[in-house]
Amino acid sequence: MSAPIQRNQQPGWTRFRHGDFECTVVTDGLLHMGPPRDTFPHADPQEIDRLLADAYLPTETIELDQNLLIVNTGRQLVLFDTGVGINAELGVKTFGKLTGRALSSMRAAGIAPEQIDVIALTHAHPDHCWGLVDDDGNKLYPNARVCINRVDMEYWTDLGNIRDTMSEHMKDHFRGAHLNILAYRDVITFLADGDEVVPGITAHLTPGHSPGHMVYRIASQGRALLNWGDLCHHQILLLKRPNWAFKFDSDSAAAAVSRLRVLDWACGENMEILSYHFPFPGRGHLRRNADGYDWLPTRLELEAPEALS
């Protein structure tokens, strides 16, 4: 008698210690971006296919994970970005049923949304801020304040920026940010370059992919972890070709300038990276070489982190 086919998977979270901080990464599920030549619009399609095939990656679609970092500093619980969320008219409609897993992943990791004190957004795109509210516009994180760059919030929540020539998906970018972020309008902290979010965590302005995109440096016990959001979407294509444009960049040239600057910074400080869209959990280091940068993933830890001292 053959054993039954299981058709299930382990819960979508993992945990590690970073200095005095306990970090948890939860997934909001896999995004299918469609054909690579559409996702990286100015690149040579043959070069895209070659780089993907050389890395044993599919050439017909770009797959991006959504890795939400939660940092427990011992005093506060900080969530970075929210995933595409559970709204039937926004996230689920646009990104499909593989997504919208953030809350269940979080609960499986023993974290209740009510416990989140701070939500630090890298930017206001769908896969980063549409998970702030439920279908009725109610807060999913009732005790959290939201940190974001002012330029990013003001741009994406202003429905006056919608143009008739935009696709419905692009119009939804504004509608979704408006619905989600403004639900927290009374508890928003605006962050500028270098601002502290909570002790040990600082925000750094990296405009381009979005007008006010921020990355977050998380420092404890002399170790630094850089949570870089959408600074770099792909572990092969944009590390080997950091000048390439990404489909949803607001300003691709500025995005490339920010990307090159942060890649250089991260290598110079030997920082560990937590990358939102790299293969789960998106944790690793960079190594510079003659052909851009290599991604060196950190081992997925299967042991519980040591007790905090």
Residues forming contacts to Zn ion in the complex (CB under 5 A) are 127, 230
Q: How far is CA 62 from CA 83, 104, 114, 126, 152, in A?
A: 17, 25, 34, 17, 26
CB atoms within 10 A of CB 98: 14
Q: From the CB of 123, what's the least distance to Zn ion, in Å? A: 8
Q: From the CB of 278, what's the least distance to Zn ion, in Å? A: 11
Q: From the CB of 206, what's the least distance to Zn ion, in Å? A: 13
d(CA 52, CA 48): 6
CB closer to Zn ion out of 75 and 247: 247
SS3 label, residue 237: helix
CB closer to Zn ion out of 165 and 167: 167
Radius of gyration, CA atoms only, the chain: 19
Q: From the CB of 276, what's the least distance to Zn ion, in Å? A: 6
Q: From the CB of 240, what's the least distance to Zn ion, in Å? A: 20
CB closer to Zn ion out of 22 and 172: 172
Q: Do the beta carbons of residue 293 and residue 242 sit within 8 Å?
A: yes
CB closer to Zn ion out of 127 and 249: 127
CB closer to Zn ion out of 96 and 305: 96
CB closer to Zn ion out of 230 and 249: 230
Tokens of 143: 């005790």
Q: From the CB of 96, what's the least distance to Zn ion, in Å? A: 15
Q: From the CB of 233, what's the least distance to Zn ion, in Å? A: 7
CB closer to Zn ion out of 127 and 152: 127
Beta bridge partners of 147: 120, 189
Handedness of CA 15, 17, 22, 28 (dihedral sign): negative
SS3 label, residue 250: coil
Residue length of the chain:
309
d(CA 82, CA 132): 6
Q: How far is CA 293 from the centre of its chain?
A: 20
d(CA 21, CA 31): 29
One-letter amino acid at 256 equals A
